[in-house]
Chain A
């Protein structure tokens, strides 16, 4: 899967939201030894498997 281009703000939000999901018990999509949700989320980000994306067309629709 090709990793999309995100701005640094988008990356921060995606990783943050994903880490919270993992912390709250969401299934993890990678094999990892780590038990730190943030580390897991960062690793998922590196591999491009985070099930979250960004909605960008909002400004025109609002």
Chain B
């Protein structure tokens, strides 16, 4: 028996979120039930949903702060964890959590998780090709560099195996060197020879350093790419992050590729993506430490951080520092400065927030303090 149109309408009329509605429909489809049973199921779901909701006037911010703060005390102070693969280390634990709520422009260890399109993900060689294309390639990956002090030359010996692996030819290398340094590059016995403008020892060494730093191929910010097999697909992990560039690569699945740089996500994919990134990163960091925090607390933090359309930190330069109330800001940090500035500008404090009202000793707008009572007329009371 499938659901009648009337019953579907009844479900959509309950005011439940989309996901619960869909789960209800899925569960009821093709099941045998009577009208009474249907009503009971629906009633139970609705009442459970309402029960799980937060009552108006609840101090959700304080509860969220405590719910995240208490597990935070159990986190290790300094953790560097190798994200499954050797060599790539990622900041985790408390430092990472602090990094997230501080909305740092660049995390201390930026890293990306790149997932590939199905064709590439199954094939080890194709995956490796993508990895080499993305990884920033310097001259040291391709061969060795030496100096000839007699001739005042820089000699670059290229390893042709490495060249073939990274799909780059010696001509391409020579061309890049030429355009980047502005110097002539000669091919001599399979070696690239370059000379500085002035034949001095200092100039020569500087040229060597410059060549070493040049990125010949790949994306500049990505220092290392590691391939790891997860289930039946190959996944790339990177050291360094460049979301916008990586997403454009052939074979990269843009929908499943992510970075731990929240600001970058905000810039490339928008504020909603940044909000989700905050939620995911914070939850993952906590879970990795064996702590479970209800996602709604983290969602609240993420909402507050992103509700202006840009990622704001929870702190002096963000949420706390931008409060409308002078007293609330003064209570947070540098009290005298805030009060002095406010006095100079002639600011007015409307005393709408919690902190201000605590300071002046009034009931706060929370819980029972946020209820406004009205007397009913006598004729309304007695029938």
Classify A-B as touching or not with yes or no (CB < 8 A).
yes
Let me know if B360 is at the binding interface, CB within 8 A. Answer: no
Let me know if B55 is at the binding interface, CB within 8 A. Answer: yes
Within the complex, what minimum Cβ distance (angstroms) separates A42 from chain B?
16
Taking a contact as CB atoms under 8 Å apart, the answer to whether B372 and A54 are in contact is yes
Let me know if B255 is at the binding interface, CB within 8 A. Answer: no
> Out of A8, A12, A49, A58, which one reaches B372, CB within 8 Å?
A58
Let me know if B367 is at the binding interface, CB within 8 A. Answer: yes
Taking a contact as CB atoms under 8 Å apart, the answer to whether B368 and A9 are in contact is yes
Taking a contact as CB atoms under 8 Å apart, the answer to whether B373 and A7 are in contact is no
User: Which B residues are in CB contact (< 8 Å) with A8?
Assistant: 55
> Out of B55, B377, B378, which one reaches A7, CB within 8 Å?
B55
* Assembled-state Cα–Cα distance A53/B383 (Å): 16
Let me know if A1 is at the binding interface, CB within 8 A. Answer: yes
- Of the four ranges (under 10, 10 to 19, 20 to 34, 35 or more), the interface on chain B belongs to 10 to 19
* Assembled-state Cα–Cα distance A52/B381 (Å): 9
Bitwise interface map of A from 1 to 32 toward B, beta carbon under 8 Å scored 1, else 0 = 10000011110111011000000000001000
Q: Chain B interface secondary structure, helix, strand, loop or mixed?
A: mixed
**In the complex, residue of chain A having the shortest beta-carbon distance to the beta carbon of B55:** A7
Let me know if B370 is at the binding interface, CB within 8 A. Answer: yes
Bitwise interface map of B from 340 to 383 toward A, beta carbon under 8 Å scored 1, else 0 = 00000000000000000000000000011011111111101111
Taking a contact as CB atoms under 8 Å apart, the answer to whether B383 and A9 are in contact is no
> Out of A1, A17, A29, A49, which one reaches B373, CB within 8 Å?
A17
Indicate whether A53 sits within 8 Å of B371 (C-beta atoms), given known contacts A7-B57, A9-B55, A29-B381.
no
Q: Chain A interface secondary structure, helix, strand, loop or mixed?
A: mixed
Within the complex, what minimum Cβ distance (angstroms) separates A60 from chain B?
13
> Out of A12, A29, A52, which one reaches B375, CB within 8 Å?
A52
Let me know if B231 is at the binding interface, CB within 8 A. Answer: no
User: Which B residues are in CB contact (< 8 Å) with A52?
Assistant: 373-376
Taking a contact as CB atoms under 8 Å apart, the answer to whether B367 and A9 are in contact is yes
* Assembled-state Cα–Cα distance A13/B370 (Å): 10
User: Which A residues are in CB contact (< 8 Å) with B13?
Assistant: none
Within the complex, what minimum Cβ distance (angstroms) separates B383 from chain A?
7
Residue of B368, B371, B374, B382 with most partner-chain A CB within 10 A: B371
Taking a contact as CB atoms under 8 Å apart, the answer to whether B56 and A54 are in contact is no
* Assembled-state Cα–Cα distance A18/B55 (Å): 22
* Assembled-state Cα–Cα distance A14/B377 (Å): 15
Taking a contact as CB atoms under 8 Å apart, the answer to whether A55 and B368 are in contact is no
> Out of B57, B373, B377, B383, which one reaches A55, CB within 8 Å?
B373
Bitwise interface map of B from 53 to 67 toward A, beta carbon under 8 Å scored 1, else 0 = 001110000000000
* Assembled-state Cα–Cα distance A58/B370 (Å): 10
Taking a contact as CB atoms under 8 Å apart, the answer to whether B370 and A51 are in contact is no
**In the complex, residue of chain A having the shortest beta-carbon distance to the beta carbon of B374:** A55
Within the complex, what minimum Cβ distance (angstroms) separates B351 from chain A?
12
User: Which A residues are in CB contact (< 8 Å) with B368?
Assistant: 9, 12-13, 16
Within the complex, what minimum Cβ distance (angstroms) separates A18 from chain B?
9
* Assembled-state Cα–Cα distance A29/B375 (Å): 14
Within the complex, what minimum Cβ distance (angstroms) separates B357 from chain A?
14
A1-B383, A51-B377 given. 12 additional CB < 8 A pairs? A7-B55, A8-B55, A13-B371, A13-B373, A14-B373, A17-B373, A29-B382, A51-B375, A51-B376, A52-B373, A52-B376, A54-B371
Going nearest first, the 8 A-B pairs with the smallest beta carbon separation are A7-B55, A51-B381, A13-B371, A51-B376, A55-B372, A9-B57, A9-B368, A55-B374
Tell me the B residues contacting A by CB distance below 8 Å.
55-57, 367-368, 370-378, 380-383
Please list 9 pairs of residues, one from A and one from B, whose beta carbons are closer than 8 Å in the complex, sorted by A's number: A8-B55, A9-B56, A13-B368, A16-B368, A17-B373, A50-B381, A51-B381, A55-B373, A55-B374
